[in-house]
Structure 1
Amino acid sequence: MSEQIKVGISDYKLTSAPNELATIGLGSCVGIALYAPKAKVGALSHIMLPDSSSFSDTSKWAKFANLALPKIVEELRVQTNETKILAKIAGGASMFSFTSESQTLQIGKRNIESVKATLKELNIPILSEHVGGKMGRSMFVDLNDFNVKVRMVNRDEFIL
């Protein structure tokens, strides 16, 4: 029997098929689904911030893309003994309108850029993505086949 495992903000979970991973409320946050295809084991991370460089307290490392992704990927590789890990990402919306184009305020865009750069450094291909825009999303990851459903308010659900 499968279970839906929920992932909160600044958190991650790792599990295997037939379970499903889910996270809701991806506004400027980015959801990163990682998958070891042979073992059918996956992880879902709900990152809140692009990097930890301007924070003195990084004990809650799962909130930062630059800290969370390397640790989660390492855990996934150790657990599965697989080197080939795949990714799908969603989120990074610009939820608020600002008159300033300041990069500091563009947290969704910065989250997307940081996630992509970190995955590239880790040699993990992004198979598909649904990022940016102005609407929040929810992600549901099926670990049997790595289908990732994305839902947006008042929109059709679709598969990444």
Structure 2
Amino acid sequence: MTLVATGTEHLARMGEQVVSADAGDVLACVGLGSCIGLALIDRRATVAGLAHIMLPAAPASGTPNGKHADHAVPALLEAVLELGAARHRIDAVLVGGASMFSFGTDGGQQVGARNAEAVHAELAKLRLHPRAEATGGTRGRTMRVRVADGRVVYKEAGGTEVELFSTPVGLRVAA
């Protein structure tokens, strides 16, 4: 199913985040391979944010930015709160983290798995817990979030669109 809205589709490119309180908007991440698309959604307030996270953590000598989970997750939370989301109503949804690349002679550390672990760790620090996720595997994905109702769909490369998250407002999905 395609998420159709009367507003605009806003694309979160690598290292970027998009947020909206416009019920007509759809937020999207295209080409999530080892990257993680993280959606933070408050359906009651009609607020959603989406970050396209590339790496687990900023290097000690580098400047933190939206490419890294340790910066992107708290920055996305702050952005949705500024638009009127209430922390206790936020649903987190993750997509991506595929095993696209392997480094090292013994198979190395999988970047996608490390990204997913880092996002989970950052969410835990903020006392947020994923309500749904589609991570791992070996195929890239595209995800879309409809701001009006918080519905999240994703599509694997070569696959069909799958609804990942959609519950009535006020109903919490057990973690």
In structure 1, C-alpha distance between the alignment counterparts of 2:101 and 2:75, rounded to whole Å: 31
Deviation at 1:76, TM superposition (A): 1.4
Q: How many residues matched?
A: 156
Percentage identity across aligned positions?
37
Deviation at 1:57, TM superposition (A): 2.3
Could you say what secondary structure the match of 2:49 adopts?
A: strand
In structure 1, C-alpha distance between the alignment counterparts of 2:8 and 2:150, rounded to whole Å: 15
Question: Does the alignment pair 1:157 with 2:166?
Answer: no
Deviations 1:58-93 (A, max 9, x none): 25x100001111121022113215122111100000
* Compared CA separation, residues 101 and 151, structure 1 to 2 (3 A): same
Deviations 1:90-133 (A, max 9, x none): 00001135652322xx1101000000111111111211100000
What's the C-alpha RMSD, in Å, of the aligned pairs?
1.5
Deviation at 1:18, TM superposition (A): 1.9
| Paired AA for residue 130 in structure 1 | A
Residue in structure 1 matched with residue 93 of structure 2 by the alignment: 88
Residue in structure 1 matched with residue 82 of structure 2 by the alignment: 78
Residue in structure 2 matched with residue 119 of structure 1 by the alignment: 123
Question: Does the alignment pair 1:15 with 2:57?
Answer: no
In structure 2, C-alpha distance between the alignment counterparts of 1:138 and 1:116, rounded to whole Å: 20
Deviations 1:18-62 (A, max 9, x none): 21001101000000011122211110000000011x342225x10
**Which of the residues 24, 38, 41 maps onto 2:47?**
41
Q: TM-score, normalised by structure 1?
A: 0.91
In structure 2, C-alpha distance between the alignment counterparts of 1:20 and 1:124, rounded to whole Å: 23
**Which of the residues 135, 149, 165 maps onto 1:145?**
149
Residue in structure 2 matched with residue 131 of structure 1 by the alignment: 135
Higher helix share: 1
Work out whether residues 102 and 111 of structure 2, in 8 Å CA contact, stay in contact via their aligned partners in 1: no
- Identify unmatched segments of 5+ residues in structure 1: none
In structure 1, C-alpha distance between the alignment counterparts of 2:62 and 2:57, rounded to whole Å: 12
In structure 1, C-alpha distance between the alignment counterparts of 2:62 and 2:101, rounded to whole Å: 27
Residue in structure 2 matched with residue 51 of structure 1 by the alignment: 57
Q: TM-score, normalised by structure 2?
A: 0.83
